[in-house]
Structure 1
Amino acid sequence: MNDLNQMSLEELKKLRRDVEKAIETYKDREKIAALAEVESLAREKGFSLAELLKSGGKKSRSGLPPKFVNPADPSQTWTGRGRRPKWIEAALAEGKSLGDLAIAQ
């Protein structure tokens, strides 16, 4: 290791810049190392990392059947989950009930 007392001011400033840069990039270097480790383990098990990430993804929330339909525009439907669409709010404000907007089962 360098004796800091023997270094010139310019050498000390350069050393400080190098240390600051190493600190700033530390997490990036750790991520790269972790990714390489995970890819290596996946290869050992006979998979690619992409295969593993695809198969473990989130399941789609879509696919719920709609429960309500806009009588003025049948292309607008609502499953009954989440925020009420504006057309539902407008129909309720007009005095209609959710039952009036329900899709016949």
Structure 2
Amino acid sequence: MATYSELMAQAQALMAQAEQARKDELSSVIADIKAKMKQYGITPADLGGGPGGKKAAKSKSSAPAKFRGPNGELWAGGPGRKPEWVRTALAAGKSIEDFRI
């Protein structure tokens, strides 16, 4: 039977492997999206991400962001409930400092 330490080491190795797979897949998806945008003449504004597009949701906080999540989420790190991406990262054993801007 494996010890707690051995299982934790395996879990961390699997998390690192999963993160690398996510990064590999993400770069492939981004390249595919860029190619389709070029093919169809789509601009970021067409998707609501630029001037003339939909306005982004206004942040609840007026404090400057101190942390950036894995998908570009921003968080000022103030009091109150942590965003889901922060809770997920912390549960996976990551440090909040890994996301400091």
Fold agreement, TM-score > 0.5: no
Q: Which has the higher strand share?
A: 1
Query: Greater CA radius of gyration, 1 or 2?
Result: 1
TM-score (ref. length: structure 2): 0.37
Q: Which TM-score applies when normalising by structure 1?
A: 0.36
